[in-house]
Amino acid sequence: MAATEGVLLGMGNPLLDISAVVDDAFLAKYDIKLNNAILAEEKHLPMYDELASKSNVEYIAGGATQNSIRVAQWMLQTPGATSYMGCIGKDKFGEEMKKNAQAAGVTAHYYEDETAPTGTCAVCVVGGERSLIANLSAANCYKSEHLKKPENWALVEKAKYIYIAGFFLTVSPDSIQLVAEHAAANNKVFLMNLSAPFICEFFRDAQEKVLPYADYIFGNETEAKIFAKVRGWETENIEEIALKISQLPLASGKQKRIAVITQGADPVVVAEDGKVKTFPVILLPKEKLVDTNGAANGFELRLLDILFSVPDNQSSLLLGDAFVGGFLSQLVQGKSIEDSVRAGCYAANVIIQRPGCTYPEKPDFN
């Protein structure tokens, strides 16, 4: 079935990627090391305006969930099939974010904070290498009051699938609870992402509260191992862990859970109904890899902990946000898990060949 308007809703921490080619003097001025990812300090704050003034500057509406939603929207090619909520500031970068989301075909209802600036991620590019400096700011300020407004709750009502990355647990767990309970009461599909080891370790209580509502849980092998360790499961076997995640208690009204764990170039592991299936990943030759660190995509607090962490000697790096976006694009159309995984791998492959979380005009997936 074709995707309907507003079928997929995402909520998360929006970051505007500000990407530009810079020189060594720029790196020295702001004390930036290449191939690094850090949170902004006081000394970095003037850098964002300086980057924005460069003639080659590019803006991308980023942050983990927003990336996945944009990729799903691109794969679906149905205007307004997806929507998104998160917090930005009332400033020029916020305006860029709105423009960028609109151009992507996503219906974005941002909460605009009066005091904090829009969350940004500087992407400094030198000779094909890059460094990422994230300033979360307004992305940390989302309030459930915004969600409860009729025009915003309407997006929740309209959606049949709701996806939220684990990062949002650090910002507005009460908002997550509201939509999770709505999904359970209305037979909708609620999907979560483990997102980063630190979420599994330090936000375990918040995570435990919402996981019973999750019909799907995504993660990578690093996150899965930490998730298991924190719970004392005493196994590092990804298939076993996926199975255990799928069998965690469910909230009332939920029938079953599917766990989807990626492991870089190794097969994607899917646990469902007490069984585990694995799906091979399409490998890319090294020369096709453009964006080895995902250029800030879904950077949030994970720094370089990109959802697909690839073994050193593998010639493939797939991006987690893109994988989830591709997966969701098929799931919301009622396609099989096999097709959804295939679409996830396809989307990640397309995006790894391009700078940042960008994509060609139309997908070539069938």
pLDDT at 303 over 80: no
Q: Tell me what the mean pLDDT of segment 39-68 comes to.
A: 92
Q: How far apart are CA 310 and CA 320, in angstroms?
A: 11
Q: Does residue 273 have an active-site annotation?
A: no
Q: Tell me what the mean pLDDT of segment 104-127 comes to.
A: 94
Q: Tell me what the mean pLDDT of segment 232-246 comes to.
A: 97
CATH topology of domain 8-14+62-117+137-352: UDP-N-acetylmuramoyl-L-alanine:D-glutamate ligase (3.40.1190)
Least confident of 53-62, 228-237, 277-286, 330-339: 277-286
Please state the φ and ψ torsions of residue 130, each to the nearest 5 degrees: -145, 160
Please state the φ and ψ torsions of residue 90, each to the nearest 5 degrees: -90, 85
Average model confidence (pLDDT) across the chain: 87
State the first-to-last Cα distance of the chain, in angstroms, to the nearest integer: 14
**In this predicted structure, what is the pLDDT of residue 206?**
96
Q: Tell me what the mean pLDDT of segment 40-64 comes to.
A: 92
pLDDT at 54 over 70: yes
Please identify which of the residues 23, 321, 339, 364 carries the catalytic annotation.
321
Buried-exposed string 168-184: b where 16+ CB fall within 10 A, e elsewhere: bbbbbbebbebbbebbb
Confidence of residue 318 (pLDDT cuts 50, 70, 90): very low
pLDDT in tens, 174-188: 999 999 999 999 999
Q: How far apart are CA 52 and CA 44, in angstroms?
A: 14
pLDDT at 171 over 60: yes
How far is the CA of 301 from the CAs of 170, 194, 209, in angstroms? 10, 13, 21
Cβ neighbour number for residue 356 with a 10 Å cutoff: 22
Q: Is the pTM of this model over 0.75?
A: yes
Least confident of 236-245, 282-291, 352-361: 282-291
Q: Domain map of the chain by residue range?
A: 8-14+62-117+137-352
Please state the φ and ψ torsions of residue 59, each to the nearest 5 degrees: -110, 135
Cβ neighbour number for residue 85 with a 10 Å cutoff: 27
Render 255-311 in DSSP notation, one character per residue.
---EEEEEETTEEEEEEETTEEEEEPPPP--GGG---TTGGGTT-TTTTT--SSPPP
pLDDT in tens, 211-228: 999 999 999 998 999 999
Dump strand ranges (E) for 100-256: 107-113, 120-126, 129-135, 161-165, 189-193, 216-220
One-letter amino acid at 352 equals: I
Mention every residue, 6+ apart, whose C-beta is less than 8 A from residue 199: 166, 167, 169, 170, 207, 223
